[in-house]
Structure 1
Amino acid sequence: MNCNPKLVLSLGLVIFACSRPLALFAQQQQSILPEISYLYVEKLIAAARENYPRIKSLTSQVEVAKQDLNAAKISWLDPFSFQYVGRNNQSQSPPVVNVTNTDLLTGYQFGVSFNPGSLLAKPSNVKKAKEQVNVAKYTKEEYLLTLEAEVKRRYFAYLQAQKSLLPFNNALLDAETSFKTTKIAYQKAEVTIEQYNSASTSYYSAYQSKLQAEVAFISAKALLEELTVKKLEEIK
């Protein structure tokens, strides 16, 4: 029994077109969980805590708050003002005694002034400075939690983009093989122009999909490295 080559090729293309999406779907259903390295995640988080500029800024704010607290604690003498005046009536000309002159006393005179309102405000200022230290610490701790969650989220997105590359690579290889086969068959007049155009369109579509998957992978990697401030290859 003789088979029509055109019919066989057409049937083969139909089977390929139907089976390829199922194969891609089966590959995409593979679990990503085995790819996750929680040890590596902790290293990424440690790198982000050490290098991310926002963390350094919050650390500096904590230190500034501590310095303000120390200044508030040692300022208890501010309400007291100490003054002294040095008097010297000696001159090169003979001294003239004037009983009406009040500057008869010579030497140093000391004085102390006291501001009770300022003293009463000191406990409140110290307490406020302590709370500022707590606010700075809590702000930093809150952001550390946010940063940790964001590192994990971007790491998982990076793994997903990385794992998505394989199906698109396979799809491109299959589409390229199908296109080359169809092209040869078309040159031999074994397939129609519509079949040739369909194979060409499938190949171009698979090529564009692969490029998009590569861009998504590179972007996911860059977003993760934005937090670690280091290349992933440098984090072992």
Structure 2
Amino acid sequence: MFTKKSCILFLFQLVLIFQHASAQESILSEYSPLYVQKLIAVAKENYPKSKAYEHQVKIAKYNLSGEKTSWLDPFSFSYLLRSNNNTVDIVNPQLLTGYQFGVSVNPGSLLKKPFNIKAAKEEVKIAQLEQNEYALQLESEVTRRYMFYLQSLNLLKLQNKITVDAESSFADLKLKYQRSEITFQEYNSASTNLSNAQMARVQAEANMITAKASIEELLVRKLEEIK
């Protein structure tokens, strides 16, 4: 059964937590769209997968340029030198002497060339669309991870304050218990509250560190380096 003093202590702790939560600034006050855009720009510049899409677009453009400059591929050029040795070959008479040139055409390759160029153009468009799609995904992911980092940081600040209050309350009640001014149940309750607050702070610290590492994974840089 709770005593009157333990109930009053419990209500007092709830009031402290509520005051901390009310005094805690909203994370929206710390959110800067300009800073987030800077983070997004850094992620697009540094994140390997973002670079991979950029290279895919370049490759597609190179292939298109190659198709446009290969119109002569279906044509085969040859030449033959016939010398004049003043002899007459009855079996294979040479009516012409000097350099002789010839041209052959592969009709199939020639007819497919316009379609190959169109296909290469479509591949460029596909590569650009995939790059744009990933850019949108990266923007959303950077924003989401940064907001989670701000949330974790603020929760850690709040939990630090709650833990400090729990430590102060426990020290006060411990002194009163030593003076026999409160019961063991009240003292034990304060000890339990302190342990819970300390464990919650450890968890909040871990969450904040994880959230920071998560956003820095996309940036390939430390948050502190980006001003």
TM-score, length-scaled by structure 1:
0.84
Q: In 2 relative to 1, CA 181–82 (structure 1 residues): closer, same or farther, beyond 3 Å?
A: same
Confirm or deny: 8 A CA contact 1:81 1:113 kept in the other structure: yes
Structure-2 residue corresponding to 1:219: 210
C-alpha distance in structure 2 between counterparts of 1:18 and 1:163, whole Å: 19
> C-alpha separation between the residues in 2 aligned to 1:46 and 1:218?
23
Partner of 1:230: 221
Q: Aligned partner of 1:39: which letter?
A: L
- The residue identity in structure 2 corresponding to 1:33 is L
Deviations 1:1-38 (A, max 9, x none): xxxxxx8964652442342343344346x532222111
1:83·1:112 contact (CA, 8 Å) conserved in 2? yes
- Rate the CA distance shift 1:18–1:60 in 2: closer, same or farther, 3 A: closer
Equivalent residues in 2 for 1:44-123 (5 A)? 44-87=39-82, 99-100=90-91, 107-123=98-114
1:154 alignment partner, one of 145, 150, 156: 145
Deviation for aligned residue 1:194 = 2.3
Amino acid at match of 2:22: A
Q: How many angstroms apart in 1 are the aligned matches of 2:157 and 2:168?
A: 17
CA distance in 2, matches of 1:121, 1:134: 20
Structure 2 distance, partners of 1:190, 1:129, is: 86
CA contact (8 A) 2:84 2:98 kept: no
Larger radius of gyration: 1
Paired amino acid for 2:139: E
Judged with a 3 Å threshold, the aligned counterparts in structure 2 of structure 1 residues 18 and 48 are, in CA distance, closer, same or farther, namely closer
In structure 2, what is the Cα distance between the partners aligned to 1:11 and 1:217?
A: 33
Whichever residue aligns with residue 185 of structure 2, its letter is E
Count residues with an aligned counterpart: 225
Q: Give the partner amino acid of 2:108.
A: G
How far residue 137 of structure 1 moved from its aligned partner, in angstroms, is 0.8
- Cα separation, partners in 2 of 1:207 and 1:56, compared to 1, 3 Å: same
Does structure 1 retain, via aligned residues, the 8 Å contact 2:75–2:103? yes
Mapped partners of 2:21, 2:35: distance in 1 = 29
Structure 2 CA distance for aligned equivalents of residues 27 and 189 of structure 1: 35
Match of 2:30 among 14, 30, 35: 35
What secondary structure is seen at the aligned counterpart in 2 of 1:112? strand
Which amino acid counterpart does residue 53 of structure 2 have in structure 1? L
1:208 is the counterpart of 2:199: yes
In the other structure, the counterpart of 2:165 is 174
Question: Tell me, which stretches of 5 or more residues in structure 2 are unaligned?
Answer: none
- For structure 1, which runs of at least 5 residues remain unmatched after alignment? 1-6
Asked whether the equivalents of residues 83 and 110 of structure 1 are also in contact (C-alpha less than 8 Å), the reply is yes
Aligned-residue Cα RMSD (Å) equals: 2.5
Contact 1:27 1:167 in 2 (8 A): no
Are 1:89 and 1:104, in contact at CA under 8 Å, matched by a contact in 2?
no
What percentage of residue pairs aligned between the two structures are identical? 51
